[in-house]
Amino acid sequence: MSIYAISDIHGCYDMFLEMLDKIQFDETRDTLYILGDIMDRGPKVPEMVRWVWKHESEHVIMLKGNHEDMFASYPDPDYYTFYFSQFSATELNRLLTWIPELPLYKEITVRGIDYVLVHAGITEEILKTGKDPDEFCIWARNEFYFGNGIPGKTIVFGHTPMMSRIIDDEIAVHIWKPKGKNLIGIDTGAVFAKKFGGKLSCLRLDDQKEFYVYAK
């Protein structure tokens, strides 16, 4: 039994399926946390959404990302024309009720490490109150990366492609584990693979082993 985290698939459905093969994911015994942003930008968003709907269970847990939130909050057919044309009316209605119910974060313990899984970032106050009035969990960036984290918690997040940020004096096209901080950034820009050299990454929480899939 293994526990995995993946984020920011952005409709890169074929890369996602390849990743499932690579990690030999077995949904009868393994657990996969998807840290938001399966929607927007990529080529096969409807296929990705339908896969999550089909497999969502105690072994496949989806968190809310900012792109899901934007779709549900501002369902503008002009902006999302491509996606609106590929979802049925029933599916669109389901999306608009499903997205608001997605959790913002999950706390789990794996082999003695207390993890917080979230799309963009989280604060100690949010963990204490369970409230996120400023949408920090889906929109945080520098104020989170360069903050002090949360004592005793290892935070795994996506949201910002690591290759788009110069962090620790390097451009990270890999999972980011900054020195001296209990942060792990796992968005390595799958949807920008061909343009900027990004890739889809997945982290096994049991031993923090990294897995990567490259665009064909």
70-115 pLDDT tens trace: 888 876 656 666 666 788 889 988 998 999 999 999 999 999 999 9
Q: What single string gives the DSSP state of each residue in 53-85? A: HHH-BTTEEEPP-HHHHHHHH---TTTTHHHHH
What CATH number belongs to 3-213?
3.60.21.10
Whole-angstrom distance, CA of residue 102 vs CA of residue 92: 16
Q: How many CB atoms lie within 10 A of CB 87?
A: 17
Which pLDDT value is given to residue 173? 72
Whole-angstrom distance, CA of residue 6 vs CA of residue 212: 10
Per DSSP, the three-state class of 143 is helix
Which pLDDT value is given to residue 190? 92
128-167 burial, b at 16+ Cβ within 10 Å, e below that, comes to eeeebeeebbbbbeeebbeeebbeebbbbbbbbbbbebee
Q: What single string gives the DSSP state of each residue in 2-27? A: -EEEE---TT-HHHHHHHHHHHT--T
Is the pLDDT reported for residue 31 higher than 60? yes
Dihedral angle at the C-alpha atoms of 85, 94, 140, 44, nearest 10 degrees?
Answer: -40
pTM metric for this prediction: 0.92
In the chain, % of residues over pLDDT 90: 69
Whole-angstrom distance, CA of residue 114 vs CA of residue 101: 24
Residue in the block written with tokens 């949010």: 126
Backbone angles phi, psi at 209, to 5 degrees: -75, 140
129-156 pLDDT tens trace: 999 989 999 999 988 988 889 999 999 9
Residue in the block written with tokens 């997040």: 157
183-209 pLDDT tens trace: 999 999 999 877 777 899 999 999 999
- Domain boundaries along the sequence of the chain: 3-213
